[in-house]
Amino acid sequence: MSNNSINKASVVNRYLQDRLEPKDYADAFAPSNIALCKYWGKRDGELNLPVNSSLSVSLAHLGSHTKISRSEDGSDKVRLNNKDLPSDSDFSRKVIDFVDLFRRGQKIPLIVDTRNNIPTAAGLASSASGFAALMLALDDFFSLNLDKSVLSAFARMGSGSASRSIYTGFVRWDMGSRADGMDSVASQLDNRWPDLCIGLIKVSSARKPVDSRSGMQRTIETSKLYPSWPEQAGSDLITLEQAIDEQNFAQMGACAEKNAMSMHATMMSAWPPLVYWLPESLAVMQQVWQLREAGVAVYFTMDAGPNLKLLFETASLSVLQTEFPIMEVIQPFSD
């Protein structure tokens, strides 16, 4: 379904004025998000257009803070967590490539300074909040005044799930159908869930052996079970929206856990098998299942990595803090 005549630059071009009017400084924050219905599989790798719609909850104050200012010595500088990065590092190149979509050859050397306040113990990816914060900061710095849905579409071109990090709370990313992806954008649900807690459990901070993009690709190309995934995700999305509307925690938790397990199932049936779990991940999963059998309303979700994100309500907070002393707790709607 990829359309080779459409690339990121041609999509962005249509929304820009002829010449940028840069300010001296801008900054922006965007939150991390945890998907309850996962983004898993691209129908277009250039624009990061997904094969299924997805739904997430944002992590409130945990995310990325990005500052943009003029660089006085004529060359771009990229800083991450208070460290200057070499210009040929992966991170620098991704950031500068993204910025170039907007500069379009104009000589406006910049300092892009990103700080992630995600606790290193959390084991969370930061590309979603990072590209969302960068997009928001660019919008301000160049006075682009883009609509939020356009910001979501552009952030998506940096990292798929960044489309969701433009918003807080519950966020749905519609897969869309247009070749240029301008309808593949996120939007915020009205619902709030003050009692909802997310427990971050890190079992490893090792770099994952296969990045998400390659993992998606391998799964699509080699898993015979993957073709069933889009339908699973589609039905999970409906179930989750209904559960959120009715604040039915058991329905939400069960659906989110089943969705995550099904995503991991598609990976495991790829070749070579893609197993992001570590033995320690499985031990935590078993602990969660035992707690649930004992009557504790706790579920988990996992992304393309070994760490777990528990889902529960404040009523279960103290028992879970005792069970998982290393857990970092976020309350998306009250933090």
The reply to whether 81 sits near a second copy by the rule CB under 8 A is no
Report which secondary-structure segment, H or E, holds 37: strand 25-37
β-pairing, 77-80 vs 110-116, is parallel
The angle at the Cα of 305, spanning 300 to 306, to the nearest 5 degrees, equals 65
Residue 254 interacting with a second copy (CB under 8 A): yes
User: Which of residues 1, 5, 73, 272 is near a second copy by CB under 8 A?
Assistant: 272
Q: Which of 181, 138, 124 is nearest to 1 (CA)?
A: 181
3-state secondary structure of 310: strand
Nearest 10 degrees: Cα torsion 154, 130, 124, 63: -110
Q: DSSP class of residue 260?
A: H
Of the candidate spans 94-102, 167-175, 268-276, 313-321, the one that interacts with a second copy by CB under 8 A turns out to be 268-276
273 binds a second copy (CB under 8 A): yes
Query: Is residue 268 a contact point for a second copy (CB under 8 A)?
Result: yes
State yes or no: residue 25 binds a second copy (CB under 8 A).
no
Shortest spacing between CB 228 and a second copy, in angstroms: 5
- Please say which residue, 6 or 254, places its beta carbon nearer to a second copy: 254
Query: CB 261 → a second copy: shortest distance, Å?
Result: 5
Q: Which of 16, 121, 179, 275 binds a second copy (CB under 8 A)?
A: 275
278 counts as binding a second copy under rule CB under 8 A: yes
Strand 49-50 vs strand 54-70: parallel, antiparallel, or unpaired?
unpaired
103 is an interface residue for a second copy by CB under 8 A:
no
Cβ–Cβ under 8 Å, residues 255 and 301: no
Minimum gap (Å) between residue 247 Cβ and a second copy: 21
Q: Please identify, using beta-carbon distances, which residue of 65 and 292 lies nearer to a second copy.
A: 292
Q: Binding to a second copy by residue 258, rule CB under 8 A?
A: yes
The residues near 320 (Cβ < 8 Å, ≥ 6 apart) are 199, 291, 296, 298, 310, 312, 327
Q: How far is the CB of 281 from a second copy (least distance, A)?
A: 8
- Is residue 326 a contact residue for a second copy (CB under 8 A)? no
Strand, coil or helix: 318: helix
The stretch among 40-48, 142-150, 156-164, 282-290 that binds a second copy (CB under 8 A) is: 282-290
Closest CA to 170 of 229, 90, 231, 256: 256
Burial class (CB in 10 A: 0-12, 13-18, 19+), 73: exposed
- Judged by CB under 8 A, the residue of 27, 100, 280, 313 near a second copy is 280
Given the structure tokens 């995934």, which residue do they identify? 229
Both tokens assigned to 51:
């094969």
Q: List all residues 6 or more positions away from 315 whose beta carbon is below 8 Å from its beta carbon.
A: 195, 297
End-to-end CA distance of the chain: 41
Work out how close the CB of 279 gets to a second copy at its nearest, in angstroms, rounded to a whole number: 4
**Helix 127-141, helix 90-103: angle, nearest 10:** 30
Site for a second copy in 197-236 (CB under 8 A): 223-225, 227-229, 231-232, 235
264 binds a second copy, rule: CB under 8 A:
yes
Nearer to a second copy, 142 or 229 (CB): 229
Q: Does 266 bind a second copy (CB under 8 A)?
A: yes
User: According to the binding rule CB under 8 A, does residue 290 interact with a second copy?
Assistant: no
* Stretch near a second copy under the rule CB under 8 A, chosen from 10-18, 133-141, 149-157, 264-272: 264-272
Residue 282 near a second copy by CB under 8 A: yes
Binding site for a second copy (CB under 8 A): 223-225, 227-229, 231-232, 235, 254, 257-258, 261-262, 264-266, 268-269, 271-273, 275, 277-280, 282-283, 285-286, 289
